[in-house]
Structure 1
Amino acid sequence: MSIVWYFDFISPFAWLHWPKVKALAASQPVTLRPIVFAGLLDHYGHKGPAEIPSKREFSYRYVVWRAQQARQPLRFPPAHPFNPIAALRLCIAAGSSVAAVDAIFEWIWAQGRAGDSAEALAPLAARLGIADIAGAIADPAVKAQLKANYDAALAEGVFGVPTLSLDGRLFWGDDAHAFALAYLDNPALWDAPEMQHVVSLPMAVARRI
């Protein structure tokens, strides 16, 4: 089964999900695919959680609580939301490996460091074997790969991060991980009668936007 994880370093929920994905990747191949979450928001005409003041406050408190419950380190970066492009391109320049993803997530969300510029990420890049981070993140091939990742996400219907794609079946969010594992164990779950029923329900009303 093809397993792809779509994520953006801007998302604290992706950081919460990462240990589970890393454990999954230790047992079978998982393609780690960094994408620009803001692109999805623009494509679907959505606001991000941090763009609605009351939702922003709740989301941050909830993330802190979830991390405490999981006993997972969490320290917010100096500002949020931030521009994640440099971190995403650094990930791709470093091969989008488990080690690279782990290091960048830990830098931003465990150590609480900035991940929004080449200068901020330079010490981390050096540890990843990239001496010229400015050159690496400006590489046309790196930029093209990030765009290709985004195009692949849209082609699969990805609408948020983090998302696990299991042969094209989408499982959105850290809290859907158990559902994804259940599907991995029994793909017939997706086609159970009640599952089929709920996706075929008619819409009784639609908002005019």
Structure 2
Amino acid sequence: MHALRFYFDPISPYAALAFWNLPEALRGHNHVVDYVPVLFGALLKANGQKGPAEIESKRAWTYRQVLWLGREQGLSLPAQHPFNPLALLRLAWACCDEGSTPSRWVVEQLLNHVWQGQGADANEPARLQALAETLAPQRRADEEAAKRRLREATDAALAAGVFGVPTIAWQGKLFWGQDALPMLVAALDGDPWFQSGAWEDAGQRPAGIQRS
């Protein structure tokens, strides 16, 4: 059985697209997926990066692309983006036992709340309350346990080399982005490229120049 870890933050429309497309991509593969909510902003800060929505021209392209890609799933942009995802991330961790990760159903509710909300504000208090009532978490999202698990998951993701979302980890390899799903499936199918040393060689190539 293939064991996969799906790192995501509901702030990312690409995480939603990858999540929605994952079952079809993995059809026919014996697999289990752990869904791991992490704070995308912390990944960006640790790596000295800006998010796509923080660069004006890239933000415009991102919105155009994801609206086109997500037409069949009814993807819509939330009223505010980027927004602070902490309430949603902590709610996700509040929905599972210590030592486990949120279920696919929980993650689906979170992502649909943001990206199929018909343009509503993801952090509007009444909507958040309705989402919490639907999810019926085991503890309050503002309790220290949920906050701690989010911090620990984000730190562990950084230690594993995760720099963005969505990222799917499999056998020590990281597949970043919704457009990496075909590459992941090729690896699961035993594509000989992954045994040729090309993966390792590509990762060891030095940078040509370094910007100050």
Q: SS in structure 1 opposite 2:31?
A: coil
Aligned pairs for 1:39-188 within 5 A: 39-68=42-71, 71-95=72-96, 96-112=102-118, 113-116=120-123, 119-130=126-137, 136-186=140-190
CA spacing shift, 1:117–1:139, aligned 2, 3 Å: farther
Give the stretch that moved more between structures: 156-165 or 181-190: 181-190
Take 1:104 and 1:203, find their aligned partners in 2: how far apart are those partners?
38
For the 8 Å contact 1:49–1:59, the answer to whether it is kept is yes
Cα drift, residue 197 of structure 1: 3.9
8 Å Cα contact 1:22/1:98 also seen in 2: no
Looking at structure 2, the residues matched to 183 and 19 of structure 1 have their Cα atoms a distance apart, in angstroms, of 20
Equivalent residue letter for 2:116:
A
Percent of aligned positions with the same letter in both sequences? Answer: 37
> Is the helix fraction higher in 1 or 2?
1
- The answer as to whether partners of 1:85 and 1:116 remain within 8 angstroms in 2 is no
Name the structure 1 match of 2:38.
35
The answer (yes or no) to whether the contact 1:49–1:56 under 8 Å persists in 2 is: yes
Post-superposition offset of 1:97: 0.9
Instruction: Provide closer, same or farther for how the CA distance between residues 36 and 196 of structure 1 changes in structure 2, counting only shifts above 3 A.
Output: closer
How many pairs does the alignment contain? 203
**CA–CA distance in structure 1, aligned partners of residues 204 and 85 of structure 2:** 37
The verdict on how the C-alpha distance between 1:63 and 1:85 changes in structure 2, with shifts beyond 3 A counting, is: same
| Alpha-carbon displacement from aligned partner over 1:67-115 (angstroms, at most 9, x marks no partner) | 12xx121111111000000011111112211111011111110124333
Residues 133-185 of structure 1: CA distance to partner in whole angstroms, max 9, x if unpaired? xx711111111110111011011100000000002200000000010111112
Across the aligned residues of Structure 1 and Structure 2, the Cα RMSD in angstroms comes to 2.2
- Farther-moved stretch of structure 1 (135-144 vs 151-160): 135-144
5+ residue gaps, structure 2, are 97-101
Helix, strand or coil: the match of 1:31?
strand
Structure 1's consecutive aligned runs of 4 or more residues displaced over 6 angstroms after TM superposition are none
Q: What is the CA-CA distance between 1:195 and the residue it aligns to? A: 3.6
Please give the residue correspondences for 1:6-25 in structure 2 after superposition, counting only pairs within 5 Å: 6-23=7-24, 24=26
User: TM-score normalised to the size of structure 1?
Assistant: 0.88
Compute the TM-score of the two structures, normalised by the length of structure 2: 0.87
1:192 aligned residue: 196
Take 1:153 and 1:17, find their aligned partners in 2: how far apart are those partners? 18
